[in-house]
Structure 1
Amino acid sequence: MQTLVTDLLVTLAYGVVGVVLMAIGYVLVDMATPGRLDELIWTRRNRNAALLLASNLAGVGVIVVAAIAASDDDVVLGLVGSAAYGILGLLIMAGAFLLLDAVTPGRLGELLVDPEPQPAVWVSAVVHLATGAIIAAAIS
């Protein structure tokens, strides 16, 4: 029974770290988006903003899963690694977004608020997922 309780607490701790990282990712995407992200997605049903946010959250999830898997059952290492690699991943994703925005025509943030689907948002979303995968591979 003690093992079950310990495993549940460890799972809770990893869950909290993951949710906090995803909340930070949400804030970063919100900062890159003109207007409020919650209004864009939940009120205006903007698919561009939803796609970019979803890719960011998935990228963070991939990083956290890799950090947990690489921790070799060392809970402290897993939690610290998840947080550290997650923050690093978010910073790299933000940098990649800014770089892509700088080298392509138009402003990606403005494309996110367009009610019509924008192919550039798909490119940016894949950059988020690829970044998460690259960092995950580097962890293991």
Structure 2
Amino acid sequence: MIEELSRDVLGPLVGAVAYSVVGIALMVLGYLVTDWLTPGRLGEQIWTERNKNAAILLASNVIGVGLIVVGAIWASEGGVLRGVVSTFVYGVIGLGAMAIAFLILDWLTPGKLGETLTEDELHPAVFVNAAMHLALGGVIAMALS
């Protein structure tokens, strides 16, 4: 009975907690990377100034990271520890890819993408950048499966 409870409940519970911790850590890391790539303080832009451009960019980053985490969990084999480590590694790779894509898109387009986030008016470029984050998250997630 106790062995069955351990296998059926405690094992998945430990896995859920471990993957949640990794997912949260990657989303915090994604927040920090986005904050680093954009001018000003991202938290202030979103929560104090209620800037929609910054909120859309950060939301797309979080969803992109979430897609990568889900793909890494889905593809993980060999126990919780191995799966959690590979999820973290793939998440960091995904964040790096998103940051590089942001910089490349910034280089290819007129103006500065980071500066569009500080504008009060909703800027079309933020939707392009958000789509890029979501697409990269999906591509990396599918590459893992």
TM-score calculated relative to the size of structure 2? 0.93
Residues 75-132 of structure 1, C-alpha deviations (whole Å, 9 max, x = no match): 1231111101100000000000000000100000100110100000100000000000
Q: What does residue 106 of structure 2 align with?
A: 101
- Give unmatched runs, 5+ long, in structure 1: none
Paired residues, what number?
140
Residue type of the partner of 2:49? R
User: C-alpha distance in 2, partners of 1:8/1:74?
Assistant: 13
1:90 maps to which of 91, 95, 118? 95
User: C-alpha distance in 2, partners of 1:136/1:59?
Assistant: 9
Q: What does residue 119 of structure 2 align with?
A: 114
Residue type of the partner of 2:99? A
Identity of aligned residues (%): 54
Kindly report the root-mean-square deviation, in angstroms, between the aligned alpha carbons of the 2 structures.
1.0
Q: What does residue 30 of structure 1 align with?
A: 35
User: C-alpha distance in 1, partners of 2:14/2:111?
Assistant: 47
Q: What does residue 40 of structure 1 align with?
A: 45
Residue 131 (str. 1) matches residue 129 (str. 2): no
Residue 16 (str. 1) matches residue 21 (str. 2): yes
User: C-alpha distance in 1, partners of 2:15/2:111?
Assistant: 45
**Structure 1 residue 73, shift from structure 2 partner:** 6.3
- Give unmatched runs, 5+ long, in structure 2: none
TM-score calculated relative to the size of structure 1? 0.96
Residue type of the partner of 1:80? V
